């Protein structure tokens, strides 16, 4: 079923705020219990904080929300001094910002950046299930050269929890390092530990003592996926994207094939419509009344400069993506950031995880493996994200619904921080992507959730757009009797 909703330009009530023209399609009729989620999704377009976006929610293994929307007019004003650049996406073909979403639909793919981390962590869990490795194994057990330069005691769980001291490598990686696995192996092997503490790191309240073993948490924004991709190749022989396709995607081909990738060859890319990721900024979020809650006072830029990078959250990381939105950049296999997906693909995998590894009778992970991957959670202050984070040994973050207040470091560091929990006391797991994508699940609420978009807002994790959708989700669950 496909339903199209058109909203025309008008003024809203006494506030005289512009309502932007947009279109939303529903491929599956929204379940009556989850109408609030659709309402909040559409409201994001109406107030001008979206370009193209998708939302898929599963409940008890069934699709209950499946939306794709796009604006039909520019929800921003070109910058006065850079009018031409203001209307362009960052790409190597001079495509216009609005032109890239003309064909935007449920099938469109967009880069989901760090939401890719969940895909790679699922692959690692599959390796655990196949007996190829254990989370507590030292990486050098399977990859002896990794132990060079003081890294001999780093475990696989350390890498997955961002505790490995390798948030960056000894030099900035280049696309050619990614394309040549021998170069990537050497880049990682030659890199020393670097547990870096920024002078901008505030003292967390309540105070959390530094870890006794010295393994400080520092978000491995890009490096985690590079390390894990090499590790999977060491223990299995296949490169990461091949492993992901053959061990994960092919188990649910009708739902996953064509909808979720860690990387794609040039030939594969010709089969799909891609929405260019719009520049990393907040131009179309300036009308958002909650934006002040989510801006970190430039802390990330200060950290990047202090860390001898140019101030960009991307370039402070370990490997450059090359030219954004290009065929080449989408072909790079970076297991932390290169995923090109739509919400239906990510939402289906989130539903698998909500089912503890199984969706509608198809098992991707055993329940035992699921629990292993979500166990041994540790909470540490992250010296890169500058907030507290809770990570399981399998690399999935836990977001506790009882700790969502943005008055706390854990709340500010949460994908769903700032949302109203409506009295719910459970947890969600997963992660999100820079600019706003969200990919998470909750077995206790039987929810798989995915939100993807191409208008990148200036939030490291989450942001007002998804906060409003989560408000609708949590209120819906409360009304259904969940606690």
| pLDDT score, position 100 | 81
| DSSP state for residue 314 in the 8-state scheme | T
Supply 329's token pair: 């950049």
Supply 132's token pair: 């190829």
Greater pLDDT, 290 or 75: 75
Tokens 């009530």, located at residue: 13
Q: Which residues of 72-122 form beta strands (DSSP E)?
A: 110-111
Q: Domain-by-domain residue ranges, the chain?
A: 3-118+253-479
Taking residues 277-296, what's their average pLDDT?
57
Supply 228's token pair: 């894990």
Pick the CATH number of 3-118+253-479 from 3.90.1570, 1.10.1740, 3.30.160, 3.40.710: 3.40.710
By residue count, the chain amounts to 483
Rounded CA-CA distance 120/377 in Å is 18
| pLDDT score, position 48 | 84
pLDDT tens by residue, 230-261: 999 999 999 999 999 999 999 999 999 999 99
Supply 224's token pair: 């985690």
Rounded CA-CA distance 404/421 in Å is 8
CA dihedral (475, 477, 478, 481) in degrees, to 10, reads 160
| pLDDT score, position 60 | 98
Supply 256's token pair: 């996953």
How remote is the C-alpha of 472 from its chain's centroid? Answer: 20
What share of the chain in percent tops pLDDT 90? Answer: 64
Of 7-16, 68-77, 284-293, minimum mean pLDDT range: 7-16
Supply 341's token pair: 């997906």
> Is the distance from CB of 280 to CB of 458 less than 8 angstroms?
yes
User: Which residues have CB under 8 Å from 80's CB, separation 6+?
Assistant: none
Greater pLDDT, 318 or 425: 425
pLDDT tens by residue, 328-380: 999 999 999 999 999 999 999 999 999 999 999 999 999 999 999 999 999 99
Strand order in the sheet with 378-382: 3-7, 22-28, 62-71, 52-59, 447-453, 438-442, 427-432, 397-400, 387-391, 378-382
> Is the distance from CB of 391 to CB of 397 less than 8 angstroms?
yes
| pLDDT score, position 313 | 46
Question: ω into residue 7 within 30 of 0, thus cis?
Answer: no
User: Which residues have CB under 8 Å from 314's CB, separation 6+?
Assistant: 280, 320, 321, 434
Indicate whether 17 pLDDT > 60.
yes
The percent helix, strand, coil of the chain (3-state, each to 5) is 35, 20, 50
| pLDDT score, position 10 | 37
DSSP for 65-82 reads EEEEEEESS-SS---STT
Q: How far is CA 93 from CA 97, 104, 325, in A?
A: 12, 18, 9
């Amino acid at each position: 079923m496909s339903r199209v909703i058109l909203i025309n330009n008008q003024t809203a009530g006494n506030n005289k705020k512009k309502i932007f023209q947009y279109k939303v399609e529903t491929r599956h009729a929204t379940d009556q219990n989850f109408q609030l989620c659709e309402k909040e999704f559409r409201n994001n377009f109406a107030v001008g904080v979206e370009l193209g976006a998708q939302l898929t929610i599963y409940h008890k293994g069934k699709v209950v929300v499946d939306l794709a929307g796009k604006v039909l007019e520019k929800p921003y004003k070109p910058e006065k001094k850079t009018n031409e650049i203001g209307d362009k996406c960052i790409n190597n073909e001079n495509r216009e910002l609005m032109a890239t979403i003309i064909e935007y639909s449920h099938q469109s793919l967009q880069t989901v950046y760090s939401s890719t981390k969940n895909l790679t962590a699922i692959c690692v869990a599959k390796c655990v299930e196949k007996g190829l490795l254990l989370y507590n194994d030292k990486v050098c057990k399977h990859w002896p050269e990794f132990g060079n330069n003081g890294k001999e005691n780093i475990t696989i769980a350390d890498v997955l929890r961002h505790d490995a001291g390798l948030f960056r490598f000894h030099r900035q990686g280049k696309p050619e390092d990614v394309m040549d696995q021998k170069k990537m192996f050497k880049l990682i092997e030659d890199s020393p530990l670097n547990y870096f503490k920024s002078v901008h790191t505030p003292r967390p309240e309540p105070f959390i003592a530094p870890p006794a073993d010295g393994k400080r948490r520092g978000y491995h924004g890009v490096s985690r996926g590079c390390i894990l991709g090499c590790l999977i190749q060491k223990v299995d022989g296949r490169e990461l994207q091949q492993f992901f396709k053959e061990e994960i995607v092919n188990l649910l081909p009708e739902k996953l094939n064509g909808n979720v990738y860690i990387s794609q060859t040039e030939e594969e890319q010709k089969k799909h419509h891609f929405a260019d990721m719009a520049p990393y900024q907040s131009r179309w979020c300036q009308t958002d009344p909650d934006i002040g809650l989510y801006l970190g006072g430039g802390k990330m830029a200060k950290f990047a400069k202090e860390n001898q990078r140019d101030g960009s959250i991307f370039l402070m990381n370990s490997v450059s993506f090359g030219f954004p939105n290009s065929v080449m950049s989408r072909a790079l296999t970076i297991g932390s950031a290169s995923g090109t997906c739509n919400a239906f693909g990510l939402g289906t995998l989130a539903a698998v995880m909500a089912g503890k590894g199984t969706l509608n009778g198809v098992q991707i992970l055993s329940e035992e493996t699921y629990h292993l991957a979500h166990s041994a959670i540790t909470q540490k202050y992250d010296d890169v994200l500058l907030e507290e984070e809770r990570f399981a040994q399998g690399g999935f973050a836990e977001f506790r619904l009882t700790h969502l207040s943005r008055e706390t470091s854990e709340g500010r560091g949460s994908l769903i921080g700032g949302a109203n929990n409506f009295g719910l006391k459970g947890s969600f797991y997963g992660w999100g992507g820079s600019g706003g994508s969200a990919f998470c699940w909750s077995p206790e609420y039987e929810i798989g959730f995915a939100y993807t978009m191409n208008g990148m807002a200036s939030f490291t994790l989450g942001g007002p757009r998804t906060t409003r959708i989560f408000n609708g989700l949590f209120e819906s669950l409360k009304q259904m009797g969940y606690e």
